[in-house]
């Protein structure tokens, strides 16, 4: 298990247990985290699972692959820390990860 902290636009943090090997998006859906829609179910083809990775975590999480980068063009208010949460696999190294959900998806 790894703890993941989801911060919403009001600043509220929800900390949940994530299974190693699941994605951050799957973890969010399982725990009813608001602000993650994940319309395509994790196929990297909707960009409605967009999150901002916390500053301390961007190097650990790494950047998007080319397909994800293309998809991010469709996300709302993309920043350098933007990732599609369905493309982030939970590993033990991500224990304590902080991500913020955007104001809206799509």
Note the residues at the interface with ligand FES (CB under 6 A).
Answer: 25, 38-40, 42-49, 71, 84, 86
Minimum gap (Å) between residue 29 Cβ and ligand FES: 9
What values do phi and psi take at 83, rounded to 5?
Answer: -145, 160
Minimum gap (Å) between residue 54 Cβ and ligand FES: 19
Nearer to ligand FES, 11 or 32 (CB): 32
What is the distance of C-alpha 65 from the center of its chain?
14
Minimum gap (Å) between residue 8 Cβ and ligand FES: 18
Residue 43's alpha-carbon distances to 62, 87, 100, in angstroms, are 19, 9, 21
Nearer to ligand FES, 43 or 60 (CB): 43
Nearer to ligand FES, 16 or 40 (CB): 40
């Amino acid at each position: 298990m790894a703890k993941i902290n989801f911060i919403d636009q009001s600043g509220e943090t929800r900390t949940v247990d994530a299974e190693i090997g699941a994605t951050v998006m799957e973890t969010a859906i399982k725990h009813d985290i608001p602000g993650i829609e994940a319309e395509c179910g994790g196929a990297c083809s909707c960009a409605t699972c967009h999150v901002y990775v916390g500053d301390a975590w961007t190097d650990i999480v790494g950047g998007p692959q080319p397909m994800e980068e293309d998809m991010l063009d469709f996300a709302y208010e993309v920043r350098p820390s933007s990732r599609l949460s369905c493309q982030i696999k939970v590993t033990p190294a991500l224990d304590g990860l902080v991500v913020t959900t955007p104001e809206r998806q799509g």
